Structure 1
Amino acid sequence: MKLQDALFNWLQIRLVAEARPDDNAAKETESFFAEVLRDDHRLTDVRIASTDDTMVHVRYVHEGKTKTQMFDKEHAEQLLHDINANPKYND
């Protein structure tokens, strides 16, 4: 999995896990993507650094250097919106 894809997938599920603290599937999926980032891409300290009106800034450390990747906020939040809109996941 490419780094950009892994970061975006981690971000989407991280937003779900934060918004739905009792959702164990979200927590497990977030752990999976965190493992991919750590083991496959050698990233550490991956976190959401900030959010503004249009972007989510993800900060991480790679080979001792801190880097920031920005993602479209609306796109990043889409999975959470889809889950919340589906009654099957909101019992």
Structure 2
Amino acid sequence: MQYLQDTLYNWLTIKVVCEARPDDTAARDTRLLFEQMLREKHQAVILGVQKEEPFYYVEYFVNQEEKTARFPIELIDVMLGQIEAEPEKYMNYEE
């Protein structure tokens, strides 16, 4: 069972990758998967994301409440850092 906090973390991590690599189809598809999970499994809607040292803040709506989750920037940016350090391992393959 995946918890809402885990789904938000995974979604934000891949969202950061998608923003840095807009042509990365695998990243886009993965982001869409997590967005679907947020909607269907958790009934959550993302309202916005802010990056303010040392955190990313994700504002979302769930259970008729507006909430905020925070994640350390260094934790969220790890995947993008790995991709940028070894781009040959993360090539984009056209559909």
Q: Report if TM-score (shorter chain) is over 0.5.
A: yes
Percentage of matched positions with identical amino acids: 37
Shift in Å, 1:86: 1.1
Unaligned runs of 5+ in 2: none
Deviations 1:50-77 (A, max 9, x none): 1112100001111221110000010011
Unaligned runs of 5+ in 1: none
TM-score, normalisation: structure 1: 0.91
Q: Which residues in structure 2 correspond to 1:2-81 (within 5 Å)? A: 2-48=3-49, 50-81=50-81
Q: Secondary structure at the match of 1:22?
A: coil
Q: 1:46 to 1:39 in 2, by over 3 A?
A: farther
Shift in Å, 1:36: 0.6
CA distance in 2, matches of 1:87, 1:43: 33
* Ranges of 4+ aligned residues in structure 1 off by more than 4 Å: none
Number of positions where the alignment pairs a residue of Structure 1 with one of Structure 2:
90
TM-score, normalisation: structure 2: 0.87
CA RMSD across the alignment = 1.4
CA distance in 1, matches of 2:67, 2:25: 29
